[in-house]
A and B are shown apart, each in its own frame.
Chain A
Amino acid sequence: DTGVSQDPRHKITKRGQNVTFRCDPISEHNRLYWYRQTLGQGPEFLTYFQNEAQLEKSRLLSDRFSAERPKGSFSTLEIQRTEQGDSAMYLCASSSPANRQNIYSYEQYFGPGTRLTVT
């Protein structure tokens, strides 16, 4: 059973540089979510996709952040002109197709995360 995978696991970058993270969801899951977790806090929602469509974005997702999910499979999260405040764990999650009969669509399965450190 292949879970959600994320790459890289760790990224150290200098302020002002651009970074890109990748998430591969569980294969039959059509919903994909991005969250950000800072030290001592719970994860905070950033955005989510259903197939290739980005359906919701948090106000936390500034214009320096962009997420894509081409072809409805893997997703990338890019941060441009990184700032020290972007240092966090970026978590990806996926869930199975949503319909009224499928209660399991409410379950989100998380990947191991990408820890970003901006120096």
Chain B
Amino acid sequence: AQSVTQPDIHITVSEGASLELRCNYSYGATPYLFWYVQSPGQGLQLLLKYFSGDTLVQGIKGFEAEFKRSQSSFNLRKPSVHWSDAAEYFCAVGTGTASKLTFGTGTRLQVTL
């Protein structure tokens, strides 16, 4: 069965600093990988996804992620964080054809001014 690990429960960065959120997955075949963001009391918004092809994918709000098959990782990055980026970030893996997603436990991002 597939699984996702987000090793960092909570990260604090200063506004303007760079950000990297870690995600490792376990799945036997080529995964479909996603990053979602969730603001307090809200649903999840899709930031970006990887299906195939270029391993560096661009998303909304200036986020990008890099798929590294050898490391089973799909880390999320942003070169300069804004205060509005404070939220919970979830990595997810999908398998098969448009089937269920398996999520990590999330990383809470705090941004200090």
- State the A residues within 8 Å of B (CB): 4, 31, 33, 35, 40-45, 48, 56, 58, 91, 93, 95, 98, 100, 103, 105-113, 115
Q: Which residues of B contact A98 (CB under 8 A)?
A: 97-98
Q: Which residues of A contact B63 (CB under 8 A)?
A: none
- State the B residues within 8 Å of A (CB): 4, 32, 34, 36, 41-46, 49, 51, 90, 92, 94, 97-106
Interface of B is mostly: strand
Contact between B43 and A111, CB atoms less than 8 A apart: yes
Interface of A is mostly: mixed
Q: List 17 A-B contacts (CB under 8 A).
A: A4-B43, A35-B101, A42-B90, A42-B104, A42-B105, A43-B90, A48-B99, A56-B99, A56-B100, A58-B100, A91-B43, A98-B97, A98-B98, A103-B51, A106-B51, A107-B34, A115-B41
Known: A98-B97, A106-B32. A45 touches B43 (CB 8 A): no
Q: Which residue of B lies closest to A105 (CB)?
A: B98
Q: Which residues of A contact B100 (CB under 8 A)?
A: 33, 45, 48, 56, 58
